[in-house]
Structure 1
């Protein structure tokens, strides 16, 4: 799925993808449409712009992953600003490519993202790693505030995530709706300042919740 509010760019990228053999299952021009169409087509990979009319790429990334948690998000943006990059990764994006990339670089990045790799325009990977390194080595007084306490239900869902259960399986186990489970997962990610389910599972295991 291609998410961009500029029709010429969105259509051009879609044509390049289709010419290379990819199936463009949907396109969208904003956060809400991205969310709705992702729910309908559950795309494998989403190419995400950072600046949209009704929000930003981080908002859209979180919205898409809420309804299609197995999608992988590759940001494709004109911006290489530090805050944009970090916001996108914290929201769950797998990688970040600037729009100055060539068509071949874009196609390679889409394939790598589908394969589960983290793809970044040269220089941006160092920025992300540097930020996480800074957060992990900063003196206690300089770090983020103490992690908020999870609710009993969030802890219960987290324990089942760590056991490898899907949202649908968790919903059945706890007699909840699939949407409610996803909302708990997203709330837990935000509270713990984690980027995705891999980090969430690692956290749960470290806390002995598995």
Structure 2
């Protein structure tokens, strides 16, 4: 039997909080450990470490969000829920230790998919908003690197959306070993380390606005 992700919900808006609790409690794919209005209300207990901490952000919390994420990340993988102005805000959260971000208006299926991805140690980022016309698709892509070959560029896109190497291989019609080789080359060329770093780089390059449909696990 596969492991069911254990989730802690931290959300100040009562309506959103009740909605998340209802969704996740009624789903066999998640186990809700506890629900809190604020991080200050939660005292982590030994032996009950959650797989995912869903952190809801209010407008007032966005300034100090990175500090909150950094503190919570010591106790589990953080998935942030809240609207942000641009991808710079998402990058800041990831650098602070978050493993994912979702906007407030998001489908139930994406919430569940994001939890599953983050629980496995992956990164899930919804398509990121942009407010600048020169950031339209293609503007940043032209700068990406001629360093990357076409298939490496495609691999980066899929990896950044949260797919595993095996899923990327199926999507691209390659062997998993070939995808592993592509990822090693991408990391070397872009000078990044783990998958979270790859995702941050993809956001910085403007590759995360359109999120393709994912394969099954």
How many angstroms does 1:84 deviate by?
A: 2.7
**Equivalent residues of 2:87, 2:128 under 8 A apart:** no
Q: Equivalent residue for 1:63?
A: 71
Larger helix percent: 1
Say whether 1:85 aligns with 2:90: yes
Structure 2 gap segments, 5+ residues each: 1-7, 130-134, 145-192, 198-217
- Structure 1 pair 38–4 and aligned structure 2 pair: CA distance change class (3 A): farther
In structure 2, what is the Cα distance between the partners aligned to 1:52 and 1:24? 25
**Equivalent residues of 1:94, 1:117 under 8 A apart:** yes
Equivalent runs, 1:184-203 vs 2, <5 Å: none
Structure 1 gap segments, 5+ residues each: 135-194, 200-210
| TM-score under structure 1 length normalisation | 0.52
**Equivalent residues of 1:5, 1:30 under 8 A apart:** yes
Say whether 1:18 aligns with 2:29: no
**Equivalent residues of 2:86, 2:128 under 8 A apart:** no
**SS of aligned partner of 2:102:** strand
How many angstroms does 1:40 deviate by?
A: 7.8
Q: Equivalent residue for 2:39?
A: 31
Question: In angstroms, what is the RMSD of aligned CA positions?
Answer: 3.6
Say whether 1:120 aligns with 2:125: yes
Higher relative contact order (CA 8 A, sep 6+): 2
Q: Equivalent residue for 2:55?
A: 48
In structure 1, what is the Cα distance between the partners aligned to 2:41 and 2:25? 21
Say whether 1:72 aligns with 2:72: no
**SS of aligned partner of 1:24:** strand
In structure 1, what is the Cα distance between the partners aligned to 2:68 and 2:46? 12
- Structure 1 pair 38–20 and aligned structure 2 pair: CA distance change class (3 A): same
